Structure 1
Amino acid sequence: MTGIKMAAAVCVALFLIMPTIAIKNHDVTEELSDVPFISAADAAHMQEYVAFDTREKDAYQKEHVQDALSVPPAECSECLFDALDIYREMNILVYGADDAATADAVELLLKNGFERVWG
């Protein structure tokens, strides 16, 4: 799949899965204000990225963004971070069941040394 088609697929999926995601979303609660969120439109312009789906495995298996990696928080142990180390320098787009779950996953990745992470 070309980069443009992939970006479009991620854009559509983010709109379907997380309709409230936005950089300047006035509905984001104070607890989420420190978490870097990105709009689907801005995500579509990224050249290289990997998508992390933080929902439970059954939700991931039902549907997910094409090529997204399943990274449920329950499995976020040290060995998982070692396995994800190859993505450390990439742009990482995280989505989950809701904004709070996404924010938790973004914070966990940031605390473990991943620097280019957005929900």
Structure 2
Amino acid sequence: MSVPRARRACVRCGRAHINRSPRCTTCGGAAQPTPRPVDRRRPSAAKRGYGRKWRLARIAFLSDPVNHVCKGCGDAIAVEVDHIVPHRGDLKLFWRRSNWQGLCKPCHSRKTARGG
């Protein structure tokens, strides 16, 4: 008797799929775009609040079955925790779980690019 495989998120498009490859057949898993140049004036992720404590809280939030599906498209697996209202350094708003939502990578990138 075979064990059913868990759904995974494609590393390229974020859509859920079941296969051995980390890339799905829909997008073909094209090469990742080149990274943006680093803004030397921007504080590090840890200094902006995204350190160990955040990583643990993020994992706990995304492990809750309610947060498995992307709230943006409703199709992909949520792999990012988004702040619904941008916190802009406000730590109370940063840690308020009611201000968090699970999004897939493409939806989170679109929302962030729009300034949200």
TM-score of the superposed pair, with normalisation by structure 1: 0.27
Q: Higher relative contact order at CA 8 Å, sep ≥6: structure 1 or structure 2?
A: 1
Higher-Rg structure is 2
